[in-house]
A = this chain, B = another copy of it.
Amino acid sequence: MVRAPWQSPGAPAPSDAGRSEPAGVPVEPGTVRIAVDLLGGDDAPAVVVDGALRAVRADPHLHLLLVGPAAVAGEVIRALDPVERTRVAVRPVDAVVGMADHPSAARADSTVRAAVQAVRAGAADALLSAGSTGATVTAAALGLGRWPDVRHPALVATLPAVGGPVVLLDVGGSLESRPMNLARHAVLGAAYASVAHGITAPRVGLLSVGTEPGKGDRARRLADPLLAAAVLPHGGRYVGLVEGYDVSLGARADVVVTDGFTGNVLLKAIEGAYAMAGGAPAGGGAPRAAALLGVAGTVVVCHGAARAGDVASGIALAAHLWRRRAADLVRALLAGADAPDLENRTDRTTDTEVPTS
């Protein structure tokens, strides 16, 4: 077996029994094909190459479609075992979207747009990019189409919290705080919490500067009654205003709704606080991968400063969401369909997580 450079000689060889589980996302069975934007990210392609290798080795049912320069894709393939190479395909593309480019500047032949096209054409089930968030959101919305009742797709991140995972949205899909957006995203967040994390009857809170009714800026004061009136899927209920603490405490809400500007800043502030506190908690640090909800497909965005482990986590998250049919189920919940039998889904998944060594 060829050993990847980050494996120490004494490390166990990848196998079903020794599966790594990046960022707490368990490996689930079922073949899934992820299109990976090789050129997206501050430290691309190096970290994307490393991340792709980690992901392939961690999940024996994972296939990758590497979208980018053939030479870069070749680095991934050469580092793999011959048997693993059968799970990797290449779509050669050379143009990248810069982090400073305007989102709509993504050229038709850019890696992120080619990855979107691969999903649209059925050559891949989902896509991951660590490139410019704005460009990925724009390319996905244009290439895959938006859900008819979601004007502004949301980026959804799941954070470890004292009381269990907390779903935070929007963390950068759209940056302006519009009350109707906040209300729509509350529904999306509740659906995502139930579908992606098996949280039943999710408690949904609106992030503000105090918990008393009326606290907050104009957008929050207008959104509060809209959220109170919203019908939340899967038994979700609106618990009112929550505060910054609640994102990491998780005692008051399972889903915290905010605008993409505040959510993005908040997520990075929590990551910075962990650094100041001496490191991320044992339960995992702030996530560097987020799911895009509101487009007709499974799209995961990694932070531009993503490292190899973050890219691997992002690929695993995309696989997890596709295997759970998360995009379809969230879409169905949003359209008022019956809630799927999530408890059974969760149980079945949990069984497969236990390695029988």
Q: Spell out A's residues near B (CB within 8 Å).
A: 99-100, 102, 133, 160-162, 172, 175-177, 207-210, 212-214, 216-218, 220, 243-249, 258-262, 264-281, 283, 286, 304
Q: Whose C-beta in chain B lies nearest to the C-beta of A212?
A: B100
Report the Cα distance A99→B215, complex, angstroms: 10
Q: Is the beta-carbon distance between B217 and A243 smaller than 8 angstroms? A: no
Q: Is the beta-carbon distance between A265 and B277 smaller than 8 angstroms? A: no
Q: Is the beta-carbon distance between B209 and A264 smaller than 8 angstroms? A: yes
Q: How many copies does the complex hold?
A: 2
CB proximity of A303 to chain B, nearest CB, Å: 10
Report the Cα distance A176→B249, complex, angstroms: 26
Q: A176-B217, A245-B272 are in contact. Are A207 and B265 (CB under 8 A)?
A: yes
Q: Is the beta-carbon distance between B248 and A100 smaller than 8 angstroms? A: no
Residues from chain B with Cβ under 8 Å of A267 in the complex: 244
Report the Cα distance A110→B133, complex, angstroms: 49
Instruction: Give 4 A-B pairs besides A243-B268, A266-B266 with Cβ atoms closer than 8 angstroms.
Output: A100-B212, A172-B209, A245-B269, A258-B265
CB proximity of A250 to chain B, nearest CB, Å: 9
Residues from chain B with Cβ under 8 Å of A133 in the complex: 209
Q: Is the beta-carbon distance between B217 and A244 smaller than 8 angstroms? A: no
Residues from chain B with Cβ under 8 Å of A276 in the complex: 160-162, 248-249, 281, 283
Residues from chain B with Cβ under 8 Å of A259 in the complex: 217
Q: Whose C-beta in chain B lies nearest to the C-beta of A172?
A: B209
Residues from chain B with Cβ under 8 Å of A100 in the complex: 212-214
Q: Which of A161, A262, A280, A283 has the most CB of B within 10 A?
A: A262
Report the Cα distance A268→B258, complex, angstroms: 15
Report the Cα distance A266→B258, complex, angstroms: 12
Q: Which of A176, A213, A275 has the most CB of B within 10 A?
A: A275
